[in-house]
Amino acid sequence: MTPNPRNRALAELGQSIWVDNITRAMLDDGTLERYIDDYSVTGLTSNPTIFDKAISSGEDYTAQIVELAGAGELPEAIFFDLALDDLGRAADLFMPTHERTDGVDGWVSLEVSPLLADDAEATVAQAVELHARAARDNLLIKIPGTEAGLAAIEEATFRGIPVNVTLLFSKAHYLAQADAWMTGIERRIEAGLDPVVGSVASLFISRWDAAVIDEVPDALRARLGIAIGGEVYAAYRELLDSDRAVRIRDAGGRIQKLLMASTGTKDPEASDVLYVEGLAAPDTVNTMPEATLLAFADHGEVPAPLPADGGESGEVLAAYREDGFDLDALGVRLQEEGKQAFADSWDGLIDSISGRLQTV
């Protein structure tokens, strides 16, 4: 089959298309391979909620859960075994892309336990362990870009662990984690280590519009997420051209890519491809839920690329502020809520594994 022309056009614009989902069924029935071949998908992200749904919705994992429990493993250890098996298979499917792009693309992601979010030392230890167990060069370890997570991002990067920095909601969040990541790379350069350590910075988009949907005037409805994305994209482009980035590249390193995350539309009155069309930005990644990936392939349109200065983002954000929205405070709140939501999802995931054992 010829690759879908809409998805192919988005990829040719310079934005990598990743899918924000993984299930064992996707691997067993060839769905993920089809996404790679037919929909220009070049990477994959996962999180505890995704795995919880996969494990609790059928019997694909039951036999392995029982086997691992019989060997004395506790639910958290069982989860990482299941996840590493699935993500290892996915990583192998993306390895040709990873090799063809010299490590720029073709990544999959696994998250450390959200319960470690306030413990940098434990986060780094788990990141190192998981990456070693995966034994895949194209596996990113997801670490939250919270204040407590910054030290873990720097140290994990210094140790050569590829990191997907998650839970970013604002320009301030993006710049803080970029500083931590670049410091880790600079420490590697100073120590004479390889400066190429893959990384993406995941900016959450749709939760912005969901947070204000009941208060926003019609003229501003469903415009906040794209405006935040444009503002951060402008900061990303400026960072790419900074003296600091130039020094890293001169030493043989690369700069972390910006990833547009949470791009499934939550507003029932908005387009189901709103955040794909509005954030078509070169040199970035968009990780899409399956429904969004397929919707764009069916009826999406590839617009002109998002301008390097973010286009009208500044004007839109100013309009929100003039209407009384404290966007700085909202960004802080969204990150805290996201952190708690991830912890709750983790608890639900562990409960699902425990529950599956009880019903067998």
- The pLDDT of residue 1 is 65
- The pLDDT of residue 114 is 93
pLDDT in tens, 155-212: 999 999 999 999 999 999 999 999 999 999 999 999 999 999 999 999 999 999 999 9
The share of the chain scoring above pLDDT 70, in percent, equals 99
- The pLDDT of residue 360 is 63
- The pLDDT of residue 57 is 84
pLDDT in tens, 118-133: 999 999 999 999 999 9
- Strands 163-168 vs 15-19: parallel, antiparallel or unpaired: unpaired
Average pLDDT score over residue span 13-32: 97
Domains in the chain, CATH or no CATH each: 5-359 (3.20.20.70)
pLDDT in tens, 40-62: 999 999 998 999 998 888 889 99
- pLDDT over 80 at 243, yes or no: yes
- Using alpha carbons, select from 161, 168, 123, 340 the residue that is nearest to residue 259: 168
**Burial of 270 from C-beta contacts in 10 A (0-12 / 13-18 / 19+):** middle
Q: Could you give the residue numbers annotated as active site?
A: 142
Q: Where are the beta strands (DSSP E) in 191-326?
A: 199-204, 257-261, 284-288
**Chain mean pLDDT for the chain:** 96
- pLDDT over 90 at 355, yes or no: no
Phi/psi at 204 (5° precision):
-85, 130
Give the model's confidence band at 358: pLDDT under 50 very low, under 70 low, under 90 confident, else very high.
confident
- Say whether pTM exceeds 0.95: yes
- pLDDT over 80 at 359, yes or no: no
Average pLDDT score over residue span 103-124: 96
